[in-house]
C-alpha cells in the first residue's frame, strides 16, 4: 500500500519564522504557520542607529515549537504525526552566536540572559565594519588568497568579522565563548539533542560563503592567519570545523525531548541546515544560469552552474562560489542587495510618521478610531504609491536614487556606503520619490547581473521569489525592463520553506537526490514579466547616471 509521507520545512526570516507541512509526494502545502519574534518586535537588544541587530535564541526556540505544533494540529494532529518523516531548516545568514562547549548559546546560560553580545548577530548587523576592513587588508599580506572564493572582499555581515567584533567588545563573552555557530547549524543541533559543539554538523553553504571554508584549503585558513590578525582569535579554527555537509544529508534524528515537545517521533530525520536564499532557490526550481532572486527585506541572488564550468573562474565582488552550497555537485554562486524591501519600508515609515506619532493625540477622533485609521492608511501607502508612480511620465531628468540605505552587499561589499536621492525640486512628490527608489533597487539588481556577465557567467533569465516578487507587480515589471530580461515568479507562497521541505525529503530518504525532490515537489510559476522594449531603452539611458552618481558618492563621501 502506498502511504503518503510528509515533511516539514522551516524558514527563519528576519522578523518571523514560518513552518510548512508538505506532502512529500506532490509538494502540496498541507498547512503552514507563522510566528513573529516577540522580543524582536519590541526592538529589544537592537540599536539601529549603531547598526546593531541582535536576536535572542528564545525567539527562535519559541517560534520553532509554536509553528510546528500548529502545522501538525491544522493537518490532523496525532493522525498525521506518525507520517512526518523529515524536517529541514533554513535561516538568514550570516547570523552567528557565541556558544559554550556544549553548543548552548551564551544567552541561554546564567549571567548572559540580557547581553546582546551573547545573542545571535543578525545578518544585517553592521557593527563589524572596521573588522571586515582589517580582514581585507590583512589578507593582502598572504601569497595564498584566502578570500578568493568569497569575491576577494570580506563583509561586515559575515562570520569572522562578527566573531572578532564580539570578542573585542565584550570581555565576559570572550572568556566564556568556546565556539561560534551559525543559526542554520544550531537549530538542527538543537532538534537532534546535540550536547557537544565539537560534534555539530556544519553547513557547507554557511561555511563556504561566509566563513572562508574551501576544499582547496582543506578546511578553514590556518590558525596563524587569524592570530596574526588578532590574538583573540587564537584556537578558534581548532574549535570550529574542517568537514562540512551539504543539505541533502541528515544531521541526525529528532531527539526524544523534541519528539515529545512537538508530538512527533524519534524516527523523524533532521536535515543539515542552510541559508534561506539557497534553499529558497531550490524551492523556486532554480536551473543552471538562471538567477534566482529572493526578494524580501534585502535580496539574496543565487545562481548555480556545473562545477566543471567554473574551473579557473573566480568571480570578483560576490558573496562566494561554493561547490554544493545549493545543489550537491554544482557550484553555488551568491550575490545580493543589503536593502530591497527595507528601502520601501523606510520610505513608508517616513510618510507614516504623522500617523504613528500625532494621530493618537487628535482632539477630533477617539483612540480606537485613530488606531484603525492608522492601520488602514499605513497598509495603503505602498500599493497606492505603486499605482501613482506607474502613471508618471518618463523623463531622462527624473529624480534619481542610490539604493545603499544599508550599505552595499554586491558587487564589491562596502557596508559604509549610504543611499542618496538626487535631482529633487519643488515638483518632487511622494510618488516620484518612490519611483526613484524602486528604480534604484532595480539598478542595483542590474549591477549584479552585469558583474556575473562581465566575469564570464551568463544569466539566461530571472526567477523571482519572496514577498516583493509576489506582491509588487510595479517593481517586478520595472525590474524586467531595467534588466531587459524575462522574470518568472514562483507560485508557492513560502518558497524558502518549500526548499527546506525538499531537502527534508532527501535527508529522510524519500528521494535519492535534491533534483528528484525538485522535480516531484516543484509547484511551478504563476506569473511572468516580459521587458517592454521602449522602457528598456529608457532605463538603459538612465543606468549610466545611476553608476556615475554611485561612483561620486563612493569616492567623495567617506567615513573617518
The tens digit of pLDDT for each residue in 100-112 reads 999 999 999 999 9
| Domain boundaries along the sequence of the chain | 6-284+493-526, 341-491+530-556
Question: What pLDDT shows up at residue 558?
Answer: 65
Q: How confident is the model at residue 297 (pLDDT cuts 50, 70, 90)?
A: confident
Four-way CATH pick for 6-284+493-526: 2.60.120.560, 3.30.420.40, 3.40.50.11540, 3.20.20.80: 3.30.420.40
Question: What pLDDT shows up at residue 466?
Answer: 87
Query: CA 124, CA 46: separation in Å to the nearest integer?
Result: 11
Three-state DSSP class for residue 3: coil
Taking the complete model, does pTM exceed 0.75, yes or no? Answer: yes
The CATH architecture of the domain made up of 341-491+530-556 is: 2-Layer Sandwich (3.30)
Residue 419: HSE in the Cβ half-sphere, 13 Å Cα cutoff = 27
Q: How far is CA 198 from the centre of its chain?
A: 26
Rg (CA), the chain: 23
* N-to-C CA span, the chain: 70
For 409-457, write each residue's pLDDT tens digit. Answer: 999 999 889 999 999 999 999 999 999 999 999 999 999 999 999 999 9
Phi, psi at residue 71, to the nearest 5°?
A: -60, -45
Question: What pLDDT shows up at residue 363?
Answer: 87
- Domains 6-284+493-526 and 341-491+530-556 agree in fold: yes
Q: Which DSSP letter does residue 402 get?
A: E
Please give the mean pLDDT across all residues of the chain: 96
Say if CB 45 and CB 54 are below 8 A apart: yes
Q: How confident is the model at residue 523 (pLDDT cuts 50, 70, 90)?
A: confident
pLDDT average, residue stretch 511-529: 95
For 466-475, write each residue's pLDDT tens digit. Answer: 889 999 999 9
Smallest CA-to-CA distance from 275 within 13, 466, 91 is with 91
List the single range of 334-343, 357-366, 511-520, 544-553 with lowest mean pLDDT.
Answer: 357-366
Amino acid at each position: 500500500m502506498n502511504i503518503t509521507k510528509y515533511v516539514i520545512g522551516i524558514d527563519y526570516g528576519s522578523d518571523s519564522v514560518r513552518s510548512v507541512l508538505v506532502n512529500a509526494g506532490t509538494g502540496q502545502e498541507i498547512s503552514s504557520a507563522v510566528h513573529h519574534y516577540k522580543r524582536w518586535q519590541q526592538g529589544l537588544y537592537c540599536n539601529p542607529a549603531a547598526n546593531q541587530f541582535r536576536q535572542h535564541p528564545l525567539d527562535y526556540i519559541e517560534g520553532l515549537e509554536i509553528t510546528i505544533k500548529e502545522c501538525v494540529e491544522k493537518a490532523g494532529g496525532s493522525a498525521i504525526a506518525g507520517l512526518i518523516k523529515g524536517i529541514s531548516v533554513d535561516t538568514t545568514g550570516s547570523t552567528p552566536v557565541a556558544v559554550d562547549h556544549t553548543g548552548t548559546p551564551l544567552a541561554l546560560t546564567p549571567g548572559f540572559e540580557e547581553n546582546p553580545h551573547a545573542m545571535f548577530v543578525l545578518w544585517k548587523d553592521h557593527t563589524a565594519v572596521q573588522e571586515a576592513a582589517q580582514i581585507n587588508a590583512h589578507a593582502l599580506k598572504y601569497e595564498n588568497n584566502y578570500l578568493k572564493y568569497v569575491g576577494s572582499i570580506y563583509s561586515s555581515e559575515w562570520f569572522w568579522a562578527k566573531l572578532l567584533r564580539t570578542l573585542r567588545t565584550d570581555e565576559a563573552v570572550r572568556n566564556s565563548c568556546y565556539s561560534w555557530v551559525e543559526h542554520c547549524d544550531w537549530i538542527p543541533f538543537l532538534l537532534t539533542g546535540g550536547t557537544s559543539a565539537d560534534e555539530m554538523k556544519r553547513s557547507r553553504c554557511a561555511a563556504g560563503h561566509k566563513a572562508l571554508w574551501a576544499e582547496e584549503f582543506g578546511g578553514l585558513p590556518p590558525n596563524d592567519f587569524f592570530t596574526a590578525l588578532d590574538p583573540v582569535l587564537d584556537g578558534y579554527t581548532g574549535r570550529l570545523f574542517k568537514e562540512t555537509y551539504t543539505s541533502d544529508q541528515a544531521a541526525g534524528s529528532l531527539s526524544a525531548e523534541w519528539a515529545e515537545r512537538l508530538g512527533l517521533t524519534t524516527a523523524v530525520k533532521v536535515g543539515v541546515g542552510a541559508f534561506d536564499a539557497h534553499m529558497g532557490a531550490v524551492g523556486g526550481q532554480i536551473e543552471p544560469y538562471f538567477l534566482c532572486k529572493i526578494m524580501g527585506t534585502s535580496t539574496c541572488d543565487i545562481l548555480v552552474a556545473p562545477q566543471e564550468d567554473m574551473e579557473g573562474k573566480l568571480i570578483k565582488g560576490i558573496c562566494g562560489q561554493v561547490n554544493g552550497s545549493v545543489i550537491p555537485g554544482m557550484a553555488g554562486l551568491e550575490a545580493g542587495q543589503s536593502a530591497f524591501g527595507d528601502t520601501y519600508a523606510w520610505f513608508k515609515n517616513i510618510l507614516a510618521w504623522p500617523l504613528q506619532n500625532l494621530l493618537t493625540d487628535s482632539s477630533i477622533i477617539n483612540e480606537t478610531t485613530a488606531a484603525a485609521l492608522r492601520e488602514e492608511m499605513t497598509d495603503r501607502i505602498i500599493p497606492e504609491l505603486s499605482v501613482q508612480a506607474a502613471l508618471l511620465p518618463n523623463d531622462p531628468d527624473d529624480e534619481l536614487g542610490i539604493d545603499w540605505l544599508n550599505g552595499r552587499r554586491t558587487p564589491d561589499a562596502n557596508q559604509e556606503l549610504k543611499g542618496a536621492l538626487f535631482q529633487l525640486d519643488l515638483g518632487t512628490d511622494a510618488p516620484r520619490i518612490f519611483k526613484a527608489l524602486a528604480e534604484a533597487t532595480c539598478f542595483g539588481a542590474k549591477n549584479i547581473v552585469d558583474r556575473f556577465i562581465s566575469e564570464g557567467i551568463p544569466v539566461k533569465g530571472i526567477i523571482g521569489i519572496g514577498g516583493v516578487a509576489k506582491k509588487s507587480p510595479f517593481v517586478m515589471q520595472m525590474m524586467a525592463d531595467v534588466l531587459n530580461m524575462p522574470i518568472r515568479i514562483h507560485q508557492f507562497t513560502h518558497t524558502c520553506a518549500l526548499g527546506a521541505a525538499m531537502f527534508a525529503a532527501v535527508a529522510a530518504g524519500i528521494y535519492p537526490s535534491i533534483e528528484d525532490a525538485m522535480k516531484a515537489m516543484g509547484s511551478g510559476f504563476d506569473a511572468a514579466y516580459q521587458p517592454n522594449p521602449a522602457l528598456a531603452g529608457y532605463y538603459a539611458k538612465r543606468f549610466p547616471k545611476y553608476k556615475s552618481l554611485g561612483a561620486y558618492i563612493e569616492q567623495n563621501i567617506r567615513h573617518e
